[in-house]
């Protein structure tokens, strides 16, 4: 741009204005096209030089590209630079050119070329940042490489063979802060429902964080406090009865913007290239509007940041956070979100091969490890969604929150890798299961694999919603015997409706595992052998599913291994006392329980010590020591 600048006007939206006096006839703007190609509703033209081509009635002509068969004239055939982008796409996808022309000479198939070239240029812009990304970040550990594909965008691969449990990446966050759609919380320690306010700016800050904490560790004082104070941006109290308070939604984007100013290079090379799905987000007009008003316009208006951050930039940051941020927990267990520009490049898969731990005690550093052995060049994947949801639920979450349709092996297989995690019992025959015909298509019908019965997606949705509502009601009950007995009742009832491994049944099984041994009347010492067996069966059922969906070093697996070891030990002891087991059998079963604990510790050893999983790891370690001592003390006379 020579003598113009971009402005924002409430009537015109974005517009250009002269940036200095300009004389008549002077050049105001000079610009190269972002992309160009044939105009809409044209006839058949050469995709290299755009001259009209004569095609025969059957769409036949010699003027065809040798690689993809789309129209290219004889002059351009060896050097059609403009055509190269779409040529690769068409050749790879085997999209042929039909050559159909309407009566008025229009060839509609060519209307896709210019939009496709615009998209290709966006991709080129992105792949340039791929080059920057591969070289830039100075990570403490990095055994990965950045690749790019039209399906995934950028993604990470293992740059060398990596064994399960080994580190792939260690990275410090670019920014961290409260989640959106949250309640009023302390802006430094994220403790919910704080009444106290920061003495400097009046925004929520709990007493201990206002008084005691070192300023360097106080995120609020370090970051947004001075901005809010300088602008005299008032924090409004949450109206009674509100569940969440949108005024706090601006804090995390503001922290990213402040980090951008503090680390401009890191922003440019690492954060700016992150996917933010602007077009898709704009389609949800209500949410887009709410974000514009509550975040962009709030920061530019009451927070007086209009001359530092444009509305587009703020909306980009909102999108970057929505698509890329990871949820984490403080040492006290309060949720927050963190932005890791490099680890955030990981692609999604519904059967992940990496696991991450985030460490509050080390400035929220992230560590990414291999869950299973990885080969050099293998794509690294983690799950953006809950692996123990069915395909329809996972797909909805990924479509609505991450803006893509997952086509992983699990999603494309109606049986979810033979687990039947979404299968319903057929209402017409006794032995059949109802499965979706096209699992990634929302409106796909469902059909029985044993008889010819089929039903609509809507009917299946209604059944599943009704059952899920019943499960939610049980989950909402207080932790006690009624909750346990209701969960058992629902599991029995669902036997005639769901596959035993259906995700709704699995969620009830998981709930029961956590309750057997803990709720009143069902505490560990009170459980009969039959109920101990029940807990062990439930653990094994859930582990069977986890073996498929979270193979290797999975956190959920570790939790269930721990849960399983307890009934095994108690059953072994009571079996020995009742003379049902020999000494050798007792020892054998205790050694099995030791193996479960060893694997549990192997998985959880990398968790932050203050986290729930880290605490379970120390408990499992102690149990392992005690059990090992007991087995050693059994003596050989038992054999």
Separation between Cα atoms, residue 419 and residue 409, nearest integer Å: 13
Secondary structure, 3-state, 292-304? HHHHHHHHHCCCC
Nearer to ligand SAM, 226 or 407 (CB): 407
- Binding ligand SAM (rule: CB under 6 A), the pick from 344, 360, 552, 567 is 344
C-alpha to C-alpha distance for 18 and 79, rounded to whole angstroms: 40
Q: Is 274 in the site for ligand SAM (CB under 6 A)?
A: yes
Q: Per CB under 6 A, does 119 bind ligand SAM?
A: no
Q: Which residues from 302-341 bind ligand SAM, rule CB under 6 A? A: 323-324
User: Is 48 or 153 the residue whose CB approaches ligand SAM more closely?
Assistant: 153
Q: Which one of residues 255, 356, 402, 557 is an interface residue with ligand SAM (CB under 6 A)?
A: 402
Q: Residue 394 interacts with ligand SAM (CB under 6 A)? A: no
Is residue 348 close enough to count as binding ligand SAM by CB under 6 A? yes
Which position among 151, 285, 476, 525 is part of the footprint of ligand SAM (CB under 6 A)? Answer: 151
Based on the shown chain and the rule CB under 6 A, indicate whether residue 404 belongs to the binding site for ligand SAM.
yes
Rule CB under 6 A: is residue 153 a binding residue for ligand SAM? yes
Minimum separation from the CB atom of position 515 to ligand SAM (A)? 35
Query: Binding ligand SAM by CB under 6 A: which of 406, 484, 491, 616?
Result: 406
User: In whole angstroms, what is the distance from residue 444 CA to residue 436 CA?
Assistant: 6
- Of 619, 393, 378, nearest to 506 by C-alpha is 393
Taking CB atoms, the residue at the shortest distance from ligand SAM is: 153
Stretch that binds ligand SAM, among 54-62, 150-158, 263-271, 327-335 (CB under 6 A): 150-158
* DSSP annotation string for 88-105: HHHHHHTPPP-----TTS
- Rounded CA-CA distance 405/152 in Å is 11
* Closer to ligand SAM by Cβ: residue 300 or 348: 348
Q: Which is nearer to ligand SAM, 175 or 228 (CB)?
A: 175
- Complex with ligand SAM: residue 278 or 459, whichever CB lies closer: 278
C-beta closer to ligand SAM: residue 29 or 125: 125
Sign of the dihedral through C-alpha 493, 497, 498, 500: positive
Scanning 151-159, 306-314, 492-500, 576-584 for contacts with ligand SAM by CB under 6 A, the matching segment is 151-159
What is residue 67's three-state secondary structure? coil
Beta-carbon contacts of residue 579 (< 8 Å; ≥ 6 apart): none
Of 14-22, 269-277, 467-475, 560-568, which part binds ligand SAM (CB under 6 A)? 269-277
Closest by Cα among 555, 544, 480 to 509:
544
Closest by CA to 446, choosing from 471, 425, 468, 470, is: 425
User: Is residue 279 involved in binding ligand SAM (CB under 6 A)?
Assistant: no
In contact, 109 and 86? CB cutoff 8 Å:
no
Short-list 391, 245, 261, 383, CA closest to 327: 383
The structure tokens listed for 639 are 């054999």
Using the rule CB under 6 A, is 367 a contact of ligand SAM? Answer: no
Judged by CB, which is closer to ligand SAM: 17, or 279? 279
User: What 8-state DSSP symbol labels residue 408?
Assistant: -
Q: Which of 144/349 has CB closer to ligand SAM?
A: 349
Rank residues 148 and 522 by Cβ distance to ligand SAM and give the closer one. 148
Smallest CA-to-CA distance from 352 within 141, 546, 134, 149 is with 546
Question: DSSP per residue over 140-156, as a string?
Answer: SEE-EEEEEETTTEEEE
In the complex, minimum distance from the CB of residue 296 to ligand SAM, in angstroms, rounded to a whole number = 21
- 143 is a contact residue toward ligand SAM (CB under 6 A): no
- What is the spatial distance between Cα 492 and Cα 258, in angstroms, rounded to a whole number? 55
In the complex, the smallest distance separating the C-beta of residue 322 from ligand SAM, rounded to whole angstroms, is 9
Q: What is the CA radius of gyration of the chain?
A: 30
| 323/527 with CB nearer ligand SAM | 323
Taking contact as CB under 6 A, which single stretch among the options 146-154, 224-232, 255-263, 330-338 is the one that binds ligand SAM? 146-154
The count of C-alpha atoms lying within 13 angstroms of the C-alpha of 85, restricted to the half-sphere facing its C-beta, is 19
Please tell me the count of residues contacting ligand SAM according to CB under 6 A.
19
CA distance 551 to 543: 10
Q: Are strands 365-370 and 354-359 parallel, antiparallel or unpaired?
A: antiparallel
User: Under the rule (CB under 6 A), what is the footprint of ligand SAM?
Assistant: 151-155, 274-275, 277, 323-324, 344-345, 347-349, 402-404, 406
């Amino acid at each position: 741009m020579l003598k113009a600048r971009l402005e924002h006007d409430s009537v015109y939206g974005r517009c250009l204005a002269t940036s200095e006096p300009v004389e008549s006839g002077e050049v105001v703007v000079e610009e190269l096209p972002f992309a160009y190609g044939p105009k809409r509703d044209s006839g058949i033209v050469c995709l290299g030089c755009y001259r009209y081509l004569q095609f025969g009635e059957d769409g036949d002509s010699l003027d065809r590209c040798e690689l993809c068969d789309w129209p290219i004239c004889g002059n351009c055939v060896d050097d059609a630079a403009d055509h190269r982008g779409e040529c690769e796409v068409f050749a790879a996808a085997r999209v042929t050119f039909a050559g159909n022309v309407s009566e008025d000479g229009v060839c509609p198939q060519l209307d896709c070329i210019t939009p496709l070239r615009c998209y290709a240029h966006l991709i080129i812009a992105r792949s340039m940042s791929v080059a920057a990304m591969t070289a830039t970040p100075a990570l403490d550990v990095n055994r990965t490489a950045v690749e790019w594909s039209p399906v995934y965008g950028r993604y990470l691969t293992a740059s060398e063979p990596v064994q399960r449990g080994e580190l792939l990446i260690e990275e410090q966050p670019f920014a961290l802060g409260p989640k959106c759609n949250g309640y009023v919380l302390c802006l430094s320690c994220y403790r919910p429902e704080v009444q106290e306010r920061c003495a400097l700016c009046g925004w929520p800050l709990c007493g201990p964080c206002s008084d005691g904490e070192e300023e360097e560790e106080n995120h609020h004082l370090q970051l947004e406090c001075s901005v809010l104070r300088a602008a005299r941006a008032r924090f409004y109290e949450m109206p009674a009865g509100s569940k969440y308070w949108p005024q706090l939604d601006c804090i995390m984007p503001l922290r990213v913007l402040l980090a951008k100013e503090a680390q401009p290079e890191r922003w440019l090379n690492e954060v700016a290239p992150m996917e933010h799905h602007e077009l898709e987000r704009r389609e949800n007009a209500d949410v887009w509007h709410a974000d514009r008003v509550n975040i962009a316009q709030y920061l530019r208006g009451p927070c007086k940041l209009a001359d530092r951050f444009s509305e587009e930039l703020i909306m980009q940051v909102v999108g970057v956070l929505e698509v890329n941020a990871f949820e984490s927990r403080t040492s006290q267990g309060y949720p927050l979100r963190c932005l890791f520009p490099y680890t955030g490049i990981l692609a999604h898969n519904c059967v992940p091969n990496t696991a991450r731990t985030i460490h509050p005690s080390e400035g929220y550093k992230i560590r990414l490890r291999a869950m299973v052995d990885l080969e050099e060049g293998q794509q690294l994947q983690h799950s953006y969604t809950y692996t123990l949801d069915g395909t329809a639920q996972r797909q909805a979450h990924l479509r609505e929150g991450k803006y893509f349709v997952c086509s992983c092996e699990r999603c494309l297989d109606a049986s979810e890798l033979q687990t039947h995690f979404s299968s319903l019992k057929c209402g017409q025959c006794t032995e059949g299961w109802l499965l979706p015909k096209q699992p990634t298509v929302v409106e796909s019908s469902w059909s029985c694999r044993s008889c010819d019965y089929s039903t609509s997606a809507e009917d299946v949705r209604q059944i599943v919603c009704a059952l899920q509502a019943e499960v939610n009601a049980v989950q909402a009950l207080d932790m006690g015997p009624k909750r346990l007995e209701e969960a058992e009742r629902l599991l029995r009832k669902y036997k005639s409706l769901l596959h035993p491994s259906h995700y709704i049944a699995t969620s009830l099984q998981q709930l029961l595992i956590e309750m057997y041994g803990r709720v009143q009347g069902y505490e560990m010492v009170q459980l009969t052998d039959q109920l101990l067996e029940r807990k062990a069966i439930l653990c094994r059922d859930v582990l069977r599913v986890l073996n498929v969906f979270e193979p290797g070093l999975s956190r959920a697996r570790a939790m269930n291994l721990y849960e399983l070891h307890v009934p095994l030990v108690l059953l072994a002891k009571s079996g020995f006392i009742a003379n049902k087991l020999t000494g050798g059998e007792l020892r054998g079963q205790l050694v099995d329980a030791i193996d479960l604990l060893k694997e549990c510790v192997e998985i959880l050893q990398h968790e932050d010590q203050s986290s729930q999983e880290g605490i379970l790891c120390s408990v499992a370690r102690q149990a392992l020591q005690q059990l090992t001592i007991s087995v050693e003390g059994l003596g050989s006379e038992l054999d």
